[in-house]
Chains A and B, each alone.
Chain A
């Protein structure tokens, strides 16, 4: 019982010390608890009334409590003094701050996050399919004729000693479109995929890196039409590039889409009037189209019931166009010069 009383007293005192805002109140607390007629002394007076066996322990406990309260008072007083002196001291506010840890995400990572979140708002799910891929998924199944130039070892990387009887040669996928058939094999319509992955082409110059990223959208459902493709691309453009930007589609040609389009975005500098940075007010974004019936059939989907659209665009191109960064050589993104990476 006495023990509890002592502990309560300790907690009460320490609590008050922590609450105290100035020296005066600390002095008041000291007097009330540790003073000659303070609460501790009052308790001490009770000791002789206790059983002899308890007296020692209680005495010790009271002593500890006294020390604890004294410590708390001292510490609190020091803090108060420090704060007051700091307030009064002269401070050079122009001196540099003490930096916290500063790291950097790669520009491509940031762009991918943004693209993912825009499409996720339309119910697209993120996917990633093999980078080392069979010819079938990258070409044959996508309606590329056997002698199409993209299937030459001039344009696509081939892997030594990798070949499947049914699926053809092993290659590094040159586009995320190889994910279209993979997605159709894994999921039944309705399909809404955004596949973002590394791609590889046998080309290296200031505007082409041999490895790059694409993002591929694929929607397959009943009654999917060109108007839906336009709506989706416009949604992306307005969210990624800004509400004033517009999308247009022009006829183009791809093996795996019919009709096929090239999508353009209105130039952000001249707002579509035409300037030296754009072509008559427009900038090319990338290819798109309605999924070719042969591709749907290869993916196990009946083109008489379902239709779909797809687009596959370069992440780097979109990041450069959006940021307006004048990166003179796209390969800088993958050279890993830390002086470059730490700029962003």
Chain B
């Protein structure tokens, strides 16, 4: 949360010659970040980002307290000045207020005080300016006091017109469903159950506690008696209420961080002084203070060893003790440890020795610590090579002309056929991102359809898919590689990519088996040994129409985990051929549709001098195969070659019902 505070206001509480620039720089380095410093007339305004653990710094005085510890570390004198208070006298007389609190955990501390003889008028000039610098509109002296003190001390407060609280009775309780309140901003708000409110003696809701007061009990120009409210509330209740209502006020943002119950009385006493000085008021009641479980003092001990070990440089006990005391910790030190009593304004965030290390280190100054690389001790686990392979695959595909896409892991209902097979978000942000995908193919088709200006689609994505494994178990996250390609000879181009890719991974054997798939035609499964590692197929017309893709599109889908199980960096050396090769082309006519893969395998298995078999040409039923004969032992003569050739022809003709068309010597 960011706050805006005036330089002049800060200097009410800290006596220092530090310039605003120095204050900004040093406060950022050691405490809360100053995001911006702007000039406002003869004043400056700091915009400070305050972390959620430090609600005490959401206040001018809190920032001054930090500076009083920080500035001297930079050689700049700084002295903290306490605000002025007006003690509230103990009395049992005065105006009545009947308070009931339904559950004590709703409101850890409840205080109220009534002021008489109010004169409502504009606030002093400097107050108006400071409020304005903080982004708050000055209204009148009464309302301004509550805002001014919220900014000064970090404690929000609320003022009621005492005479508008019917029967002078207040019941603090949680709402039932559908209660209504009109808040100060004139908005009618319908409340869900469980929100803290105050009801008066006539059953009217007079306060949306910690968030905003009600219109029916607000102070106005005729107000004579003010009921001042200073509380701390259950932070969770305030946050939930803000979420349910969809709005949040400055006060609520503070209450929901958990405020210091010991800060309530000082705030009340400071308010009493301001009511006297700015409104001419006097106290008209006793102090109502309901504080069932007072916050206990906490002590924390830290050893010298821990300080040095965690910060990385030796800091002596005396210096550490001085730092802690400069921040308001009361401490006792021995030769090797320090025990502190945590100041009440820090009771929310200081609990363990490491919390004290942070206090010591930040004031000592992170800028004073050296940069040291962590010592390399042995790292005794195996490096995960999967990432190297993934990078290699992506790089290869890039150089083969593919563009890498990255799409959301979540997809819409429109992209899936069976919702039961998918994990579903219970709180999706948009309709597009609801189901965790179980395949990358729909995403790639979606991308293809959304890029109509591309003449050719040539894309791939590598990402997890998520297969559910039941209610008690996380899904199987499977790293998948999917490619999509359009254009001429798409199928075989993509199959060629598969073959090259396998080679890159040191895999030289694989099998393709035709199969059936409802959404893909010419569908085939890819096997290495007996393991199915992926599929290839052409998207059916029906599917293409569904996505609005006009071109023929072929996809290749690989389960990376399985594929990489076969990947190898092992290299094999084959001695370079000593004897020339004999190359021949054989053309066969096959009598029916023929799978050429098994024919090639058959020819290769005829003899070891058959080194290579390539499909040179396909025309109607004719397939021309180029065969390379080569021996490691000698020059091949025509006699040896012709023997093997005859065998090839015989086997192909017999097993595949083919006839030789012609042969050609190259």
Contact = CB atoms under 8 A, between A and B. Distances in A.
A132 B409 CA distance: 11
Given A103-B403, A226-B361, A235-B373, 19 more contacts: A103-B401, A109-B394, A122-B374, A125-B383, A125-B384, A127-B384, A131-B477, A161-B471, A202-B427, A202-B429, A219-B374, A226-B310, A227-B370, A231-B371, A248-B29, A248-B366, A251-B362, A336-B447, A338-B403
Interface residues of A, number: 87
Interface string B441-466: 00000010011011001110000101
A252 interface: yes
B436 interface: yes
A105 to B, nearest CB: 5
A147 B354 contact: no
Given A101-B399, A259-B362, A190 B378 contact: yes
B358 A251 contact: yes
Interface stretch (A27-35, A39-47, A87-95, A149-157): A149-157
User: Does more than half of chain A's interface fall in helix, strand or loop, or is it mixed?
Assistant: mixed
B406 A152 contact: no
28 contacts: A102-B401, A103-B397, A103-B400, A106-B405, A122-B374, A125-B383, A132-B475, A132-B477, A159-B423, A165-B472, A225-B309, A225-B312, A226-B312, A227-B311, A227-B370, A227-B371, A228-B372, A230-B372, A231-B372, A247-B371, A250-B366, A251-B30, A258-B357, A260-B358, A280-B24, A336-B405, A337-B450, A338-B403
B149 to A, nearest CB: 25
A330 interface: no
A261 interface: yes
A260 B361 CA distance: 11
Interface in A65-109: 101-106, 108-109
Interface string B396-412: 01111111111111100
A201 B444 CA distance: 23
Given A187-B381, A192-B379, A228-B312, A160 B352 contact: no
Contacts of B387: 116, 126, 128
Given A113-B391, A116-B387, A130-B477, A160 B377 contact: no
Contact of B451 (A109, A154, A260, A338): A338
Contact of A104 (B236, B354, B404): B404
Interface stretch (B47-55, B536-544, B593-601, B625-633): B47-55
B222 interface: no
B354 A334 contact: no
A253 B52 contact: yes
B362 A7 contact: no
B310 A225 contact: yes
B475 to A, nearest CB: 5
Nearest to A102: B401
Contact of A125 (B366, B376, B379, B407): B379
Given A105-B395, A133-B474, A153-B427, A292 B403 contact: no
Contact of A160 (B358, B407, B425): B425
A230 B243 contact: no
B399 A230 contact: no
Q: Report, nearest first, the 9 A-B pairs whose CB atoms are least far apart.
A: A225-B312, A227-B312, A101-B401, A259-B358, A253-B51, A103-B398, A228-B374, A231-B371, A258-B354
B35 interface: yes
Interface residues of B, number: 91
B239 interface: yes
A73 B154 CA distance: 98
B354 A250 contact: no
B33 interface: yes
A163 interface: yes
A259 B312 contact: no
Contacts of A221: 374-375, 377
B433 A131 contact: no
Interface in A222-275: 223-228, 230-232, 234-235, 247-253, 258-262
A100 B25 CA distance: 54
A224 B309 CA distance: 7
Contacts of B370: 227, 230-231
A130 B479 CA distance: 11
Contacts of B2: none
Interface centre among A132, A164, A232, by most chain B C-beta atoms within 10 angstroms, is A132
Nearest to A337: B451
A55 interface: no
B371 A339 contact: no
Given A132-B423, A211-B409, A292 B354 contact: yes
Interface string A277-308: 00110000000001011000000000000010
Interface of B: 24-25, 28-33, 35-36, 51-54, 235-236, 239, 243, 309-313, 352, 354-355, 357-358, 361-362, 366-367, 369-379, 381, 383-384, 387, 391, 394-395, 397-410, 423-430, 433, 436, 447, 450-451, 453-454, 457-459, 464, 466, 471-475, 477, 635
A25 interface: no
A158 interface: yes
A101 B236 CA distance: 59
A334 B463 CA distance: 13
Contacts of B28: 250, 280
A225 B310 CA distance: 4
A236 to B, nearest CB: 11
Nearest to B239: A149
Nearest to B382: A125
A184 B246 CA distance: 40
Contacts of A321: none
B99 to A, nearest CB: 27
B426 A160 contact: yes
A109 B475 contact: no
Contacts of B371: 227, 230-231, 234-235, 247
Interface centre among B397, B408, B471, B477, by most chain A C-beta atoms within 10 angstroms, is B408
Contact of B436 (A126, A132, A147, A341): A132
Contacts of B454: 338
Nearest to A220: B374
Nearest to A186: B381
Given A164-B472, A226-B361, A204 B402 contact: no
Contacts of A160: 423-426
A123 interface: yes
Contacts of B429: 157, 202-204, 210
A39 B369 CA distance: 87
Contacts of B447: 336, 338
Nearest to A203: B429
A163 B453 CA distance: 45
Interface in A182-201: 187, 190, 192, 198, 200
A192 to B, nearest CB: 6
A20 interface: no
A340 to B, nearest CB: 10
A342 interface: yes
A134 interface: yes
B373 A130 contact: no
Given A106-B406, A158-B426, A251-B31, A307 B475 contact: no
A288 to B, nearest CB: 11
Given A127-B384, A204-B429, A341 B403 contact: yes
Nearest to A117: B391
Contacts of B352: 258, 293
A309 B370 CA distance: 16
Contacts of B426: 153, 158-160
B354 A293 contact: yes
Given A103-B402, A122-B373, A336-B447, A204 B383 contact: no
